[in-house]
Structure 1
């Protein structure tokens, strides 16, 4: 397991995640959605710029946004998949 995967299990991440949700008023930041969600289990603290193990990007609060799980699992993943060729990943 890459070391960065463990960062998601830390108290530091849990606190940062809640701070981002509060900053974004528990509202999905996707332009297509904007859904208010009180159940934090249905929210994702998403990295705007994928960190790819870069600790600076991982912990940068300005690089984080609140997305509802639905937007994260569809829109955001589609965006990331569409840039694979630009990153030199050819799967």
Structure 2
């Protein structure tokens, strides 16, 4: 009678993946920073001033839902400066205030992200 192999299943979970990149939000951010150097633009005072200018122009009102953006941090109604046309590292599109709209975090993280994923699939 052949014996069953009992030790392989627990060991499989400990093997590090050899293909792709590590999982998790921290690893994802690190990967994106390494492959998309323009992400550093979001950490500049220039970007902070530009987004605030867009918020003030739009009266802190979501341009998609009409909702007042009064939250902070991860609140669903926190204002987010969204690039209407994704810039993909193009400085002209990134720094153009006419390409920036105020939206709520809820709209940005759901509706807008879904639109961008759909557009990428259709390319």
State the TM-score, normalized to the length of structure 2.
0.65
**SS of residue paired to 2:88:** coil
Q: Which has the larger radius of gyration?
A: 2
Deviation at 1:40, TM superposition (A): 5.3
1:75 to 105, 111, 116: 111
Which residue number corresponds to residue 67 of structure 2? 35
Q: Which string of whole-angstrom CA distances, capped at 9 and with x for unpartnered residues, describes residues 2-32 of structure 1?
A: 22110000000000010000000000001xx
**SS of residue paired to 1:83:** helix
| Unmatched runs of 5 consecutive residues or more in structure 1 | none
Q: Higher relative CO (CA 8 A, sep ≥ 6), structure 1 or 2?
A: 1
Which residue number corresponds to residue 6 of structure 1? 40
**SS of residue paired to 1:45:** strand
1:26-65 map, 5 Å:
26-30=60-64, 33-39=65-71, 41=73, 42-65=78-101
Distance (Å, rounded) in 2 between the aligned partners of 1:58 and 1:40: 23
Count of residues in correspondence between the two structures? 85
| Unmatched runs of 5 consecutive residues or more in structure 2 | 1-32
State the TM-score, normalized to the length of structure 1.
0.87
Distance (Å, rounded) in 2 between the aligned partners of 1:22 and 1:69: 17
Which residue number corresponds to residue 86 of structure 1? 122
Deviation at 1:86, TM superposition (A): 2.7
Over aligned residues, Cα RMSD in angstroms?
Answer: 1.2
Please identify runs of 4+ aligned residues in structure 1 that moved more than 4 A.
none
Gap change, CA 1:40 and 1:26, over 3 Å in 2: farther
